[in-house]
Amino acid sequence: MPLFELRKNQTEFQPVKILSSDAAYNLIKNFYSDDIEILESCFILLLNNASKAIGYAKISQGGITGTVVDVRIVAKYAVDSLATSVILAHNHPSGNLNPSQADISITEKVKNALALLDIKLIEHLILTVDGFYSFADEGHL
């Protein structure tokens, strides 16, 4: 899987309209392989003004209990793709869907940084093999 896919190969990435956390989860879970329960990774989904997914990027891959999210890398991919909104997603190998204080903090940091570029962070999902937690659905965005 490439680090950044921007509709270069239509057979690998089909643009779909993302109108709910369920739709985002159903697309993003495909970015994870068998290591979803082993290593924590962070992806972003890039959307255009019509809420269509136009690309994605793997931002980081860490260890068992964490990964580093560099806001500058998130912003770079958002600007390069001309995205108007972004969905942040990462997994919890432990299976715990509750956000940590670090998860809450990075959500706010990414949201504020993207806002300076007139790009909206519309969702942050925490994924496990059994489901997901939505920051937007829980009123944290």
Confidence label for 2 from pLDDT (cuts 50, 70 and 90): very low
Cα 42 to Cα 51: distance, rounded to the nearest angstrom: 21
Q: What is the pLDDT of residue 14?
A: 73
Cβ proximity of 85 and 52 under 8 Å? no
**pTM metric for this prediction:** 0.90
Closest CA to 89 of 65, 107, 115: 107
What is the per-residue pLDDT across 121-135, written as a single tens digit (0 to 9) for each? 999 999 999 999 999
The residues facing 45 across adjacent strands are: 56, 87
Average pLDDT across the chain, whole number: 91
pLDDT band at residue 15 under the 50/70/90 scheme:
confident
Please tell me what DSSP assigns to residue 127.
Answer: E
Mean pLDDT confidence for 86-94:
97
Average pLDDT score over residue span 105-132:
97
Per-residue pLDDT of 39-84, as tens digits, reads 999 999 999 999 999 999 999 999 999 999 999 999 999 999 999 9
Q: How many CB atoms lie within 10 A of CB 17?
A: 12
Q: Which domains does the chain have, with CATH numbers?
A: 4-134 (3.40.140.10)
Q: What is the pLDDT of residue 12?
A: 59
Query: Which pair of structure tokens corresponds to residue 31?
Result: 């970015």
Q: What are phi and psi of 121, to 5 degrees?
A: -90, 110
